[in-house]
Structure 1
Amino acid sequence: MKILVDENMPYVEPLFGDLGEIIPVNGRTLTAEQVRDADVLLVRSVTQVNAELLSTNQQLKFVGSATIGTDHVDLAYLTERQIPFSNAPGCNATAVGEFAFIAMLELAERFDSPLNGKVVGIVGAGNTGSATAKCLEAYGVKVLLNDPIKVAEGDPRSFVSLDTIMAQADIISLHVPITRTGEHKTLHLFDESRLTSLKPNTWLLNCCRGDVIDNQALIKVKQQRDDLKLVLDVWEGEPHPMPELVPLAEFATPHIAGYSLEGKARGTFMLYQALCQQLQIPATKNLTALLPAFNIKGVELAVIPNEKALLQLARFVYDLRDDDRVFRNSFLNANGFDTMRKNHQHRREFSALALAYHGQLEVDWLSNLGFSGVGQ
């Protein structure tokens, strides 16, 4: 069995090596000729899986995408061809939620403006938006959720309008899929008009899709409003962000908010499980066995961490400043954006760091944040 796989997908060999011949490919430049004799195709969001890509293949048994979203996959075409498909919903939700939370802590420290006490509006309450809300609520921050689709589905959580978030939120974090048409279109959801109407000193984070913000309009508005603070992990025109926009962001990264080792492993592992089910064979591999040991055995708490100490703990796990610095120095290089994504192998989640304490410290909120081993 020939398994064609995006070269940037981790843990493929230990999971799929026993199932067939693994052929790594560049997912962004993948051609129909390369796919012609593949039995299994494993992709990420940079690959458009459609009739054009699969036109010469008559033997494909399975398509998997190690992503939450499916906007890069022509699901109707796969159904028509009776090609089984699976993705990995929620695989990197924790990573994205922690990335957004850490970015907010970094902004709070940089501008001496504590996160605790602010109101955060989350636009899009699916997997990643919910994970962001989980971190914030564990820390005691007030969260406003906006998601008209979840409302229509009968989600029992409390939701507000986008106008309410615009009026009340000190921080807005975007977590919607890209939808280009229809009632709930998210393409340029934040256009020039909406960007201009952001309340003073708003922090705006985008960890979903670059096209959700009109990047050209964002440049124009930001140049006129230094009070707005930006955290941008996604960009219009990826892998070629507008060079004028990058310097205007407080933190800038190349679409890696979900790139924790745990999230990557989880995404690939979910596809392994789905393929095993499709082939009707037992899934014998173990997710936790894939992950390397964390470089810090544990941290003992003497007192309840304040916000500065919490940021220090977060930086043990992931220092956003490092990726921001590398990105600014490399994004204009040839393939700089994709090279950084490909080589991104150091990010961990809060669960990698074990915390310990003695006595009666009230630190359950650290466990709720995701840190492991919280206790005596």
Structure 2
Amino acid sequence: MDSDNHLNARRPEVIIEANIPFIRGILEPVADVSYLEPERFTPETVATADAIVTRTRVKCCEDLLGESRVSFIASATIGLDHVDLPWCRSHGITVVNAPGCNAPAVAQYVFASLLSLPDFGPLDGKTLGVVGVGNVGRIVADWGERLGMRVMRCDPPRALAEGATGFSSIEEIAADADAITFHTPLTRSGDCPTYH
């Protein structure tokens, strides 16, 4: 009997954003998978999907998902600004993301960008302001110090939780840093909103 149910079980339908690297072939053994460009995610194309795997260009909200059977969203991103979390929760849609997944790559980009500035000069002896000292900011700050930079850290939520020692204000960083890099989530409420 169990083998009959197994044979009649429907394979889940998964739609994956086509530009996500290294994912092709991973889910095919267990699901029917389609790859779409971000602009092709429409209410019609996701209507029969059980799950979607996306990045920030696909806005996961009622307009897209309201008539679908999507019950799972995986975002290959750190942030979830593109997902209407309250709506998804209220409709039983599980949402997961990948915090920290690209932290070293972002740090590499920061230092490559600084080194490419024609008038910036060598990093050794420069002052780097790091605003947001979480997954990415910690790596940037650590690498900056290893490269001989003076690093100023600004992270108001951490300063509130851990004490102000070791943290600078945004005003201090703006006055003293040769370069400032931001690694904060977009928040509009709470004690330390980052919006604007």
Question: Common fold, TM-score beyond 0.5?
Answer: yes
Higher helix share: 1
Say if 2:49 is the partner of 1:38. yes
Match of 1:137 in 2: 145
Equivalent position to 1:116, from 124, 128, 149: 124
Deviation of 1:142 after TM superposition, in Å, equals 1.1
Equivalent position to 1:2, from 2, 5, 13: 13
Query: Structure 1: how far apart are the matches of 2:95 and 2:164?
Result: 30
Say if 2:66 is the partner of 1:55. yes
Residue 104 of structure 2 aligns with an amino acid whose one-letter code is: T
Give the 3 Å change call, closer, same or farther, for CA 137–157 of structure 1 in structure 2: farther
TM-score by length of 2: 0.86
Match of 1:16 in 2: 27
Query: Structure 2: how far apart are the matches of 1:134 and 1:28?
Result: 38
Contact 1:98 1:135 (C-alpha < 8 Å) held by counterparts: no
Query: Structure 1: how far apart are the matches of 2:181 and 2:42?
Result: 35
Query: Structure 2: how far apart are the matches of 1:32 and 1:112?
Result: 48
The alignment partner of 1:33 has SS state of helix
Higher strand share: 2
Residues 104-124 of structure 1: CA deviation (Å, up to 9, x unaligned): 1222xx226221001100111
Residue 150 of structure 1 aligns with an amino acid whose one-letter code is: R
Match of 1:147 in 2: 155
Query: Structure 1: how far apart are the matches of 2:23 and 2:172?
Result: 44
Equivalent position to 1:174, from 166, 182, 188: 182
Say if 2:91 is the partner of 1:64. no
Structure 2 unpaired stretches of 5+: 1-11
Match of 1:162 in 2: 170
Deviation of 1:156 after TM superposition, in Å, equals 8.6
Q: Please give the root-mean-square deviation of Cα atoms over the aligned residues, in Å.
A: 2.0
Identity %: 35
Matched residue count: 185
Query: Structure 2: how far apart are the matches of 1:131 and 1:23?
Result: 35
Runs of 4+ more than 4 Å apart: 180-183
TM-score by length of 1: 0.46
Give the 3 Å change call, closer, same or farther, for CA 28–181 of structure 1 in structure 2: farther
Say if 2:89 is the partner of 1:79. yes
Query: Structure 2: how far apart are the matches of 1:15 and 1:175?
Result: 30
Query: Structure 2: how far apart are the matches of 1:22 and 1:142?
Result: 48
Residues 45-94 of structure 1: CA deviation (Å, up to 9, x unaligned): 1111111111111x323110000001111111221122221100000010
Structure 1 unpaired stretches of 5+: 189-376
